[in-house]
Structure 1
Amino acid sequence: MKKLLEISLGVVTSVGGFLEVGSMATAAQAGALFGFQLIWAVVLGTICIIFLVEMAGRFAAVSHHTIADGIRERFGFNAFIWPLLATLLVNFLVLSAEIGGVAIAAELATGISFQWWALPVAFLAWLLLWKGTFGLIEKGVSMLGLVTLCFVVAAVMLRPEWKEVALGAVPSLPHHDTAKYWFMAVSILGASISPYLFMFYSSGAIEDQWDKSYLGANRAIAGLGMSFGGTISVGVLIVAAIVLGAHGVTEVDDYNQLPLMLIPMFGFWGFVLFVASLAIACFGATLEVALQQAYLVAQGFGWTWGEDLKPRDDPGFSLVYTSTLFLAAVPIALGLDPLKLTIFSMALTAASLPLTVVPFLFLLNDDRYVGKHRNGVVSNAAVIFVIALGFVLAVVTIPLQIFGGT
């Protein structure tokens, strides 16, 4: 029974980590611009993150190392510094976008401009990290994230042509705005295959003291949880394609357009549900990304770390998430458009994938760390595919940002 509870809570946790401002914004943009055509990108991203999350959990449970620990130990600090710096930079942009998402939700609820909410949001996140435990972050906030199921309910209520939805799961060439189409595909993949998610997951497994007995639960969490999160992202895309299209919105360039998606089905409560979904999903991701920054730095430099420790027992770890949160709030407080930052940061996230996934592949095939639980042919093929995809995305991201970005 205890393991079943761990699985169910893990599924909820993975939904909280999978669906955040990047997934919501990119899925809504894709639906408004291209209808159901980009569902394939959500499906592909979901499959990739299922494999990476399962591997991250398996690696942590068997080796008792996080991914960052393993890379630093296996390849040395000089090799580790490059993925560390790249991931810290990308995570910083993502964190700023997540704070912006919460601030936008607060503006929608109160009418007070989002700039004024950035620092209070950062302070509240810091307070929870400073006073809270890993269990609170992992399970408490993510349980509230179940409100995002309203997008799946709305998608079913709209009764789309399911044959057209299914056709959207098959890659096809766009009928217009080719550069923007591929830029959106890159952004969706970046939102789905976020390095912070599977690296945070490995740190969480160590925080929860996983061992080999959790390998079965880990597979269930990876498969069911990430599929559940991907389903919600598809729900956002379907609702955006039908509802925003009906309102003549062919491009989402303002967060104020997004609440329109749920109002036709739920009326005033649709507005409330959207604001709650945006606020809770983004705030949960804010906590996770801030923690992941602290995990990366502390593990990279060999400091004591752990969200369950008192700040006085891991001062360096606590200092990193404190400074990162408030620095990430500054661009939003100065008026940087959260939506544009979100789309751009998701594209850069996709481009940075090879820096973390390539060394991860070596770790998952190293007997010293995983022994008989090393990757099989299918898992290695999946990782190699993600690496190849990441190299392609790294090459095309900047040109697509110039010619197809928002």
Structure 2
Amino acid sequence: MKKILEISLGIVTSVGGFLEIGSLATAAQAGAAFGFQLIWAIVLGTICIIFLVEMAGRFAAVSGHTISDGIRERFGFNFFLLPFLSILLLNLMVLAAEIGGAAVALELATGVAFHWWALPVAFLAWLLLWKGTFGFIEKGVSVLGLVTLCFVVAAVLLKPDLKAVVAGVLPSTPHHDHASYWFIGVSILGASISPYLFLFYSSGAVEDQWDETYLGTNRAIAGLGMSFGGTISIAVLIVAALVLASNGVDQITDYHQLPTMLVPVFGLWGYWLFVASLGIACFGAILEVGLQQAYLAAQGLGWNWGEDRKPREDPGFSAAYTLALLFGAIPIAFGLDPLKLTIMSMALTAATLPLTVVPFLFLMNDKRYIGKHGNGIISNSAVVLIILLGSVLAIVTIPLELIGGT
């Protein structure tokens, strides 16, 4: 019964991890600009993150190490330094985007400009991290994220052409604006395969003291949980294609264009459902990314760490998420456009995948850590393909940003 509860809560938690401002913004932009054509990018990203999350949980359960611990120990600190600094910087960009998303939700709800909300949002997140436990952060707030299922309901009620939806699962050449099409595709992959997701997951497994008895639970959470988040992202794309594109909105340049997405289905309630979905999904991600920054800093530098510890027991860990939230809030407080930051950070995230996934592949085949539970041919093949995909994205991201970025 306990394992079934873990699986259920793990699936719910995927809303706070997989579905956040990056997934919402990129899926909505894809639907508005290209209809159902970019569904394949969400499907591909979901499959990739399922493999990475499953391996992250398996590694943590068997070895008792987080991925960051393993990379630093296996390859040495000098090797670890490049992915360490890159992920810290990118996580900070993602954190700022999430704070911006939550602040925009509050602007939509109150009429007060988003930049005034940046510091209060960051302070509330800090207070919850300072006072809360890992179980509360991981699961408590994420339960509220079930409100985002309203996109799935809307997608069904709008009755999309199922043949066109299925056709979107296969990559195709766009009829217009090729550079923008591929840039949005790259951004979707970055939102789906964000390193903070599987790094956070491995830290959470260690926090929850998983062992080999959790391997079945881990597979269920990875497969069902990430699929759950991917399904909601596809629903966002479908709704954007049927509502925004049909109303002449083919490019999203401002978050204020988005709240009308759910109005044709839910009426006035649709506006508030969108606001709630945006705010809750972003706030859940703020907590997870802020916590992951602290995990990464503490594990990389060899400090004590753990959300269930009191701040005085791991001062470096607590200082790390405090500073991350402050530095993440400052650009938004000064008026940086959250939408542009979101799209850019998602694309750059996709480009940096090889920095973490390559050493992770070695760890998953090192018997000193993983014993008899190492990767098989399917998992290794999947990781190699992810590395190749990430390498291509690293090459094309900047040119696509310059040519087709929004």
TM-score when normalising by structure 1: 1.00
- One-letter amino acid of the counterpart of residue 194, structure 1: S
CA deviations 1:328-351 (Å, max 9, x no partner) are 101000000000000000000000
SS of residue paired to 1:262: helix
Matched, 1:16 2:16: yes
CA contact (8 A) 2:15 2:281 kept: no
Counterpart for residue 364 of structure 1: 364
CA deviations 1:199-223 (Å, max 9, x no partner) are 0000000000000000000000000
Counterpart for residue 310 of structure 2: 310
Counterpart for residue 271 of structure 1: 271
SS of residue paired to 2:359: helix
Identical-pair percentage: 76
Counterpart for residue 67 of structure 1: 67
Counterpart for residue 197 of structure 1: 197
Query: Map of 1:342-361 to 2, 5 A cutoff?
Result: 342-361=342-361
Structure 1 distance, partners of 2:327, 2:4, is 40
Deviation at 1:385, TM superposition (A): 0.4
Counterpart for residue 111 of structure 2: 111
SS of residue paired to 2:5: helix
Counterpart for residue 145 of structure 1: 145
Structure 2 distance, partners of 1:23, 1:15, is 11
SS of residue paired to 1:170: coil
- One-letter amino acid of the counterpart of residue 159, structure 1: K
Structure 1 distance, partners of 2:6, 2:109, is 35
Moved runs in structure 1, 4+ residues, more than 6 A? none
Structure 2 distance, partners of 1:7, 1:228, is 12
Counterpart for residue 326 of structure 1: 326
Structure 1 distance, partners of 2:164, 2:14, is 28
SS of residue paired to 1:235: helix
Counterpart for residue 252 of structure 1: 252
CA deviations 1:303-323 (Å, max 9, x no partner) are 000000000000000000001
CA deviations 1:153-185 (Å, max 9, x no partner) are 000000000000000000001110000000000
Deviation at 1:245, TM superposition (A): 1.4
Counterpart for residue 382 of structure 1: 382
Greater alpha carbon shift after TM alignment, 30-39 vs 13-22: 13-22
- One-letter amino acid of the counterpart of residue 271, structure 2: F
Structure 2 distance, partners of 1:68, 1:320, is 15
CA contact (8 A) 2:147 2:273 kept: yes
- One-letter amino acid of the counterpart of residue 284, structure 1: G
CA deviations 1:209-257 (Å, max 9, x no partner) are 0000000000000000000100000000000000001211011111001
- One-letter amino acid of the counterpart of residue 336, structure 1: L
CA contact (8 A) 2:101 2:338 kept: yes
Gaps of 5+ in 2: none
Counterpart for residue 44 of structure 1: 44
Deviation at 1:51, TM superposition (A): 0.2
- One-letter amino acid of the counterpart of residue 224, structure 1: L
Gaps of 5+ in 1: none
CA contact (8 A) 2:145 2:280 kept: yes
Q: How many residues align?
A: 406
Structure 1 distance, partners of 2:71, 2:42, is 29
- One-letter amino acid of the counterpart of residue 277, structure 1: S
Greater alpha carbon shift after TM alignment, 11-20 vs 198-207: 11-20
SS of residue paired to 1:357: helix
Counterpart for residue 341 of structure 1: 341
Counterpart for residue 212 of structure 2: 212
Structure 1 distance, partners of 2:371, 2:56, is 15
SS of residue paired to 2:256: helix
CA contact (8 A) 2:68 2:299 kept: yes
Structure 1 distance, partners of 2:343, 2:245, is 20
Structure 2 distance, partners of 1:237, 1:55, is 28
- One-letter amino acid of the counterpart of residue 226, structure 1: M
Deviation at 1:15, TM superposition (A): 2.4
Please report the RMSD computed on the Cα atoms of aligned residues, expressed in angstroms. 0.4
Deviation at 1:285, TM superposition (A): 0.3
CA deviations 1:77-116 (Å, max 9, x no partner) are 0000000000001100000000000000000000000000
Structure 2 distance, partners of 1:4, 1:121, is 33
SS of residue paired to 1:269: helix
Matched, 1:401 2:406: no
Counterpart for residue 187 of structure 2: 187
Deviation at 1:141, TM superposition (A): 0.7
Counterpart for residue 231 of structure 1: 231
- One-letter amino acid of the counterpart of residue 333, structure 1: A
Structure 2 distance, partners of 1:137, 1:232, is 21
- One-letter amino acid of the counterpart of residue 181, structure 1: Y
